[in-house]
Chains A and B, each alone.
Chain A
Amino acid sequence: MNESILIVEDEPEFAALLERWISQAGYRPSIARTGHEALRMFYEQYPDLLVLDASLPGLDGWQVIERVREFSRVPIGISSPTWTSIVSVCATWRSTSHRRSSGS
């Protein structure tokens, strides 16, 4: 089964774009709009990667990371305000994931 990626992004258009790229690359995306929703979905799904925007309404990205790190070593990417960096975070993880799965 393909790896799952939980995206935490409050701007709906960005979230939809990230979802499109991630599914095109063959992963299973799901989207949380707030920090609280992210934690709830994380407990339910245990995704293989978490990509989050640091500035979220309510519980912000850094607080989400602190809570997740209390019990999980899941890889986490921080999406930047520029579109390019969001993509490069995903790309970096993908390449390390491939190395890991090929045993290197």
Chain B
Amino acid sequence: MRLARSPPWRVGIRALRANQVVAFAQRRFRATSPPRALEQLREGFVATVSHELRTPLALIRGYTDTILHLHLEPGEQRQYLERIDHATERLTTLVQEILDIAHLQADPLTLECAPASFASLVARLRGDLAATGNDHRLVAKIPDGLPLVNVDATRIAQVLENLVSNALKYAQTETSIVIGASVSDDWLTATVDDEGVGIPESDRALVLEPFHRGRNARESSIQGTGLGLYICRRLVEAHGGKLRLADRTDGCSGTRVSFTLPLVVAEAGP
């Protein structure tokens, strides 16, 4: 067998996909990003696509071929269907995140802000978590009578959902995720505490940028795209708030994510 050092078909596949992704990034980000940011996005897209997009697609194809062409026991068929379901879920998340990023780069980002109760946003999240059987892990420590926040409720619900699913993903099973809230001046500060692997201090600024994951997260078997926290930060910033990562204040291991949201400001009387 003659060995080619770099088979042409393989190079062809790589080049085509990388070009398509770079073209996508250029279309989406040319107008609003400085060249260095574009370069980072380009590198990030190529790196992410090479693994996070291609792997689940190839797995779906592999499992489908296996079900179609091999003689399988019913139990084995079901196991492969569950794997297809899992891979599809991974792909759906990534595609949604890429679309979110495209939306975030729109200038200006359109928010539909209206008075909303933070406690009811958390209650809505609990309802969503009930579908996955994880609602009992969510502990809300929210004082009664908090003033309303002036936010795009859909977007802030997305931030909460993203932070809590991150926490569930990186924490040991059956540990709690605690959501807290406090008010100072014209801002509500929300906190999400988990008992997960934590984010090393040196990685904290970086993981808020697109396609970056903490070193310990990359080294774990937990899958992720490095987009979730960036999307949360951009959405909070679009409301004028700030999102920060810190250690938990109670000395437990894990991460505290805190973010600020604007309160509804009472209009001046006549």
Contacts and interface: CB of A to CB of B under 8 A. Distances in A.
Interface of A: 11, 13-14, 17, 20-21, 24, 54, 62, 65, 69, 75-76, 78, 80-87
Contacts of A24: 70-71
B130 interface: no
A17 B63 contact: yes
B36 to A, nearest CB: 27
A82 B66 contact: no
B1 A78 contact: no
B30 interface: no
B30 to A, nearest CB: 28
B201 to A, nearest CB: 27
Q: Interface residues of A: mostly helix, strand, loop or mixed?
A: helix
Nearest to B71: A24
Contacts of B59: 13-14, 17, 83
Contact of B7 (A14, A21, A78, A84): A78
Contacts of A85: 9
B62 interface: yes
Contact of A83 (B13, B65, B71): B65
Interface of B: 1, 3, 5, 7, 9-10, 13, 54-55, 58-59, 61-63, 65-66, 70-71, 83
A17 B55 contact: no
Contact of B1 (A17, A76, A84, A86): A76
A38 B9 CA distance: 24
Most interface-central of B55, B62, B70 (chain A CB within 10 A): B62
A83 B9 contact: no
Contacts of A84: 61, 65
A38 B7 CA distance: 21
Given A13-B83, A17-B63, A21-B66, A69 B3 contact: yes
A62 B63 contact: no
B83 A83 contact: no
Majority SS at the chain B contact face? helix
A7 to B, nearest CB: 13
Contact of B13 (A11, A69, A76, A81): A81
A54 B62 contact: no
A80 B57 CA distance: 13
5 contacts: A14-B58, A17-B59, A17-B63, A21-B66, A76-B1
Given A13-B83, A62-B5, A82 B13 contact: yes
Contacts of B54: 81
A87 B68 CA distance: 14
Nearest to A75: B1
B3 A76 contact: yes
Contacts of A80: 9-10, 13
Nearest to A62: B5
Contact of B58 (A20, A21, A76, A82): A82
Of the candidates B9, B58, B59, B71, the one having the most CB atoms from chain A within 10 angstroms of its own CB is B58
A75 B3 CA distance: 10
B7 to A, nearest CB: 6
Nearest to B59: A13
B3 A83 contact: no
A20 B77 CA distance: 13
B13 A14 contact: no
A80 to B, nearest CB: 6
A81 B65 CA distance: 15
B9 A17 contact: no
